[in-house]
Amino acid sequence: MNIAIYGAGGFGKEVACLIRRINAAGGDWHLIGFCDDTKPAGTQVSSYGTVLGGMELLTKASEPLAVAIAINENRAVRRIRESISNPLITFPNLIDPSLFWVDRDTVKMGEGNIIQNHCMISCDVTIGSFNLINDHVVVGHDNTIGDFNGLMPGAHLSGGITIGNNNLLGAACVVLQGMTIGDGVTLGANSVLMTTPRNNSTYLGVPARKFDF
């Protein structure tokens, strides 16, 4: 099936590489190019393709097209998704072949998720839609993850964790077992979350504490 990547920056290039790995493992995606509202049509994106247009391209699409939203900012991903109403546009889950499933049959997942290389997802896990799970992330047993979250490289989630929407968990952070994270929380790189955070707040350190800019 034809697929386009929304976002022609560095993350877009990484998603192009992900699609190549999926195809090498037996997938059948045909990457037609990139969509981007900040770069003119025809812009070359390294060796991976060119910018075809912006939002208007998806609005006017007359044939089925899969789209991967490769924007590393959860609020922007939400805005883009909410702007796309064309019923011919679908949002597949792009999952690196290196993902280790502890028990794939017990994992539920929505749409539009991007899971990069060498992650692990345990058993009885529920993942919503449009989450970025970057490389070497560990998602423990009985976790529930909402929508539009970003889990940066090396993040480790212990078991029994509930995560809402629009959160950003920084590189190499740790969330201890049984924690609940609501909405709009940013957890800094290398931080260890041991207490329930407030919504729309930033937490840093070991143990992680609320940080006011």
Q: Which residues, listed in sequence order, are joined to residue 30 by a DSSP beta bridge?
A: 2
Token readout for 109 is 């997942």
Cis previous bond, 197, omega within 30: no
Q: Is residue 117 pLDDT above 80, yes or no?
A: yes
Band of residue 43 on the pLDDT scale cut at 50, 70, 90: very high
pLDDT in tens, 83-114: 999 999 999 999 999 999 999 999 999 999 99
Of 61, 92, 123, the position where a domain reaches its end is: 92
What is the per-residue pLDDT for 200? 97
108 and 80 both lie in a single domain: no
Q: Residues 6 or more apart from 82 whose CB is under 8 A from it?
A: none
Cα(60)–Cα(52) distance, integer angstroms: 13
Token readout for 58 is 């998806």
What is the per-residue pLDDT for 213? 75
Cα(187)–Cα(199) distance, integer angstroms: 11
pLDDT in tens, 172-201: 999 999 999 999 999 999 999 999 999 999
148: left (phi over 0), alpha (psi -120 to 50) or beta: left
User: Which DSSP string do the residues of 146-180 spell out, in sequence order?
Assistant: -SS-EE-TT-EE-SS-EE-SS-EE-TT-EE-TT-E
Amino acid at 185: V
Q: Which domain holds residue 12?
A: 2-92
70 and 112 both lie in a single domain: no
Give the pTM: 0.96
Token readout for 139 is 């998602």
Strands 49-53 and 44-45: antiparallel
Torsion of CA 184, 69, 174, 178, to 10 degrees: 60
Q: Where residue 46 sits, what CATH number does that domain have? A: 3.40.50.20
202 and 116 both lie in a single domain: yes
| Structural domains of the chain, count | 2
107 and 170 both lie in a single domain: yes
List, in sequence order, every beta strand (DSSP E) within 13-73.
30-35, 44-45, 49-53, 65-69
